[in-house]
Chains A and B, each alone.
Chain A
Amino acid sequence: MEGFSLLNKAFDSRVRLGLMSILSVNDWISYKEVKNLLDLTDGNLASHVQALEKINFLEIKKQFIGKKPLTTYRITPIGKNAFKDHISGLEKLINK
């Protein structure tokens, strides 16, 4: 089964899959926006973000806007390729 080999274990979780979908079509995007788009509660997102950062699929930027901390994320080229492969894997499975 060719499709399976393209699938990436990193995207098993729906949160990570959703997170990557959002990052793949955006430039730097804030924690709050991602949280709202995925309909998550605080803290839920952080562990998934860290897991994806560990394998270099996304980068994190922390900065201050005035006194407010602002965390933003962006997909890396490695992450983008992995995600593309994952999508083609899914498509192959559907069209088998």
Chain B
Amino acid sequence: MENSKPEKDIGLIKDLMEKSSKFSNLSGIAVIATGFLAIVGASLIYFDIGISISEIHISYAELINQTANPDSLLIKLKLLVSIASLILSSSLILLYVTAKIKSGKQGIKLFNSTFSRTLKSLFVPIFSGGIFCLFLLYHQMYGLVAPATLIFYGLGLVSASKYSYYELEFLGFFELVLGILSSYYMGSGLLFWIIGFGLGHIIFGLFIHFKYDQQ
């Protein structure tokens, strides 16, 4: 045992524990793409839009203050929810497929315990937040939906960061702060949304891409 090098051994142990217990198969490019998707979606909603996707012209401010015809509001609302769900599901599919490809390349099964722990810590807050948002819609508190999605998403990221990239924590706190700010500046909810889901993801994706994917 004379030639064992305690510092080196501890270093190796720590390194392998971390590598084997953290989910790190996100594709940076895919994260960037979800950022752009979010920006496109939110802009469609926010500007309602030069490219008019609905016949009804109701601004975001009119929506959250409910100063328009109730029937039109409802149609508009359905449109918003469908755009948001479309963006969300396509982002999730994109992230899933690219993560699957990336882990396949490394010869690792995507669905290992690390991945399920990451998913669980991410989706417990997000799922409860999602239900909460549905109730906000139900009670016609439209203005708080955007802040709530940011807050719950931020919480999910902070808790998922324990099992994944530790940098997710920064992104999580960023979303949290934006969510809290936008609860006060409620009328600008969608702008905060664009910053949080769009810009936040683009910056984080670039970071992942250059720090991890390049190797």
Contact = CB atoms under 8 A, between A and B. Distances in A.
Interface residues of A, number: 28
B10 A25 contact: no
B110 to A, nearest CB: 11
B12 A21 contact: yes
Given A33-B112, A36-B108, A22 B17 contact: yes
Contact of B10 (A4, A33, A91): A91
Identify whether the interface residues of A are mostly helix, strand, loop, or mixed. helix
Identify whether the interface residues of B are mostly helix, strand, loop, or mixed. helix
A94 B108 contact: no
Interface of A: 3-4, 7, 9, 12, 14, 17-18, 21-22, 24-30, 32-33, 35-38, 87, 90-91, 93-94
24 contacts: A4-B1, A12-B1, A14-B12, A18-B12, A18-B16, A21-B20, A22-B20, A25-B17, A26-B20, A26-B21, A26-B112, A29-B112, A29-B113, A33-B20, A33-B107, A33-B109, A35-B107, A36-B107, A36-B108, A90-B4, A90-B9, A90-B10, A91-B6, A94-B7
Given A21-B13, A35-B107, 20 more contacts: A3-B6, A12-B1, A14-B9, A18-B13, A21-B14, A26-B21, A26-B113, A29-B20, A29-B112, A30-B109, A32-B107, A32-B108, A36-B106, A36-B107, A87-B10, A87-B13, A90-B4, A90-B13, A91-B10, A94-B6
